[in-house]
Amino acid sequence: MNIPEELRYTTDHEWLSRDGDIVTVGITDHAQSELSDIVFVELPGVGQAVGSGDNVAVVESVKAASDIYAPVGGVVVEINTEAESDPSIINSDPYGGGWIFKLRMEDESEIDDLLDADAYEGLIS
């Protein structure tokens, strides 16, 4: 199972990468593998303000719908419309082309509450 070292993770199987105060969020390789066959993704609106833990997006497979939560609070600045038109990219490239949304972080310290790669690996094994 692929768990990139440089990312942070949530207990709900989202990953987060950081560039200044902009964070990119997606779902992990473990999550896409469990879901399989992602056929639909519902993205938030650009400009939407979200709090840490808010239900921000939905990823759906043939069999199930999975809620995606904001790992940190902030304002949505970009959404992945490519994933919207071809949801299977979340399965094939969960950490790259399968990113879901980007936020401008409100409170940087919220990142400290997230899991590192080792902790996430411990969670899923």
Segment near another protein (CB under 8 A); pick from 1-9, 16-24, 58-66, 101-109: 58-66
Q: Do 14 and 28 form a contact (C-beta atoms < 8 A)?
A: yes
Which residues in 3-22 contact another protein (CB under 8 A)? none
Query: How many chain residues interact with another protein (CB under 8 A)?
Result: 11
Contact between 45 and another protein per CB under 8 A:
no
- As a whole number of angstroms, the distance between CA 59 and CA 81 comes to 13
| Minimum separation from the CB atom of position 84 to another protein (A) | 10
Among 2, 6, 21, 37, binds another protein (CB under 8 A): 37
Cβ of 112: how many Cβ atoms within 10 Å? 8
Segment near another protein (CB under 8 A); pick from 17-25, 60-68, 101-109, 112-120: 60-68
- As a whole number of angstroms, the distance between CA 78 and CA 82 comes to 12
Q: Which is nearer to another protein, 24 or 101 (CB)?
A: 101
Residue keyed to tokens 């990113």: 99
In sign, the C-alpha dihedral spanning 34, 38, 42, 44 is positive
